[in-house]
Amino acid sequence: MPYELRRRRRTRRNMSEYLPPESSPPTKKKKEMLSYLPPEVITLILSRLPVESAVKCTAVCKAWYALIKDPSFIPTHLQQAVSLQEGDLLHHGFIFFHMCWDNGAFVGYKKLRLPFKSGGFKYFGTCNGLICLVNVYPFPWDVILWNPCIRRHFILPKPDLPHGTIRRATLGFGFDSLSDDYKALLLVVFHKDGQDSIEAWLFSLNKCSWRRITEVSPKHRCCSGVRQMAFVNGALHWHGFLNYDALSHVIFAFDLSTEKFHVMSYPNTSVHFHPHISVIKYEESIAVIIPASHNYNRVDLWVMKEYSVNSSWTNVLHPTGEGRELVIDTAGLMDVYGVRKNGELLVNVTREHGRGCELATLDLNCHQNEQRLKRLGIRTQHGDSYVGSFVESLVLFDKGEQDTKGQKRKNRKPKKRY
């Protein structure tokens, strides 16, 4: 390139040369313009921005950086995100995560980059934009809270568990609105002196420590088939049983605010129970997924219409009760993930052609059988997949570590080709 052309380009980029001497620098003008807005107006505007835009605004000035990273601003932004967002859905496969908008066409499907090696990590819940991931081998587990939208994660310290043979364990994650704290509940069944005993440990993100919960009844037993706990109305819910009695299946709940356990009854004792029963969130209540005893490709879905009211249990897929008449054909239905904002069920069904499963929606209000089930073409895996609601947030913006995996490395040597 000729020298004169390079000189002209450098001159164009240096816009300050074209300003008159009495003019103030552009950065000072911006500060003067921002000073015209009241602080509460700036806070309102920033709180209504998407997460990605809010993070970029931290580079505008020191005042905005301090405001957005302030712990009191993060819940304000979260409240706006919940009210303004159309809704996102999080899809977890065997070793990957995807996120899409909760609309008719599932537009915006994108892959999320994990900040660490994905082998061995399993999904154990999401809350306010945080995903709880657990490396189940070896024990004690490596537990990580991850916010993929701001690409930050927090590694939980390991609890000081007593020595002994561990039979099984499970973990739940949720938010305590009274103390504005994120908590994780760890249940561990130890085998000692020929008997099993259960211990509960609670982690507080604000205190960054584990604490043993002593108010655990010895009758409480967690089922080995627990995949994850359902966080509803400030409490964690999971399937369990009492005193190893095969007929004493119950729903255990742990309130994160009061830190107390309580037991909820199942819909009907005459229903045949399956070892792979699971409890999920259904709108603002809970639901129970019970696989049929004679057919693994069919499930029952019992919904508690009014939370904590046992008489409100309703079988939404087979409402005729003892007759078991199929009001909605659920052949090929492998699992139920939850309910969308429009009332449709997110389900896992066997593929029409070929092996494997795929994501679909089931409209309970549709009166035509051929239009009730809509296949979305998103492949899933039975037992290792999760699909549920997700909200983008700034949680962990003032804590944790920055993700590094997936970023481009500088001065990377090209691979040799033969």
Residue indicated by tokens 């409490």: 235
Whether the per-residue pLDDT at 326 is higher than 60: the answer is no
Whether the per-residue pLDDT at 322 is higher than 50: the answer is no
Whether the per-residue pLDDT at 414 is higher than 50: the answer is no
93: left (phi over 0), alpha (psi -120 to 50) or beta: beta
Range with top average pLDDT, 142-151, 192-201, 245-254:
142-151
Distance CA 230, CA 211 (A): 21
Whether the per-residue pLDDT at 284 is higher than 80: the answer is yes
Whether the per-residue pLDDT at 416 is higher than 50: the answer is no
Distance CA 376, CA 357 (A): 11
> What mean pLDDT comes out for the span 25-52?
75
Whether the per-residue pLDDT at 94 is higher than 80: the answer is no
Quick one: pLDDT at residue 184?
A: 95
Quick one: pLDDT at residue 297?
A: 56
Mean pLDDT, the chain, rounded, equals 75
| Other Cβ atoms closer than 10 A to 315 | 19
Quick one: pLDDT at residue 366?
A: 72
More confident residue, 138 or 264: 264
More confident residue, 162 or 90: 162
Distances (CA, A) of 41 to 35, 56, 354: 11, 18, 56
Q: Are 150 and 396 in contact (CB under 8 A)?
A: yes
Quick one: pLDDT at residue 75?
A: 92
Whether the per-residue pLDDT at 285 is higher than 80: the answer is yes
More confident residue, 407 or 276: 276
Give the pLDDT band of residue 177 (cuts 50, 70, 90).
very high
More confident residue, 76 or 34: 76
Whether the per-residue pLDDT at 390 is higher than 90: the answer is no
Whether the per-residue pLDDT at 193 is higher than 70: the answer is yes
HEC profile for the chain? CCHHHHHHHHHHHCHHHHCCCCCCCHHHHHHHHHHCCCHHHHHHHHHCCCHHHHHHHCCCCHHHHHHHCCCCHHHHHHHHHHHHCCCEEEEECCCCEEEEECCCCCCCCEEECCCCCCCCEEEEEEECCEEEEEECCCCCCEEEEEECCCCEEEECCCCCCCCCEEEEEEEEEEEECCCCEEEEEEEEEEEECCEEEEEEEEEECCCCEEEEECCCCCCEEECCCCCCCEEECCEEEEEEEECCCCCCEEEEEEECCCCEEEEECCCCCCCCCCCCCEEEEECCEEEEEEECCCCCCCEEEEEECCCCCHHHEEECCCCCHHHCCCCCCCCCEEEEEEECCCCCEEEEEECCCCCCEEEEEECCCCCCHHHHEEEEEEEECCCCCEEEEECCCCCCCCCCEECCCCCCCCCCCCCCCC
List the single range of 133-137, 183-187, 230-234, 316-320 with lowest mean pLDDT.
316-320
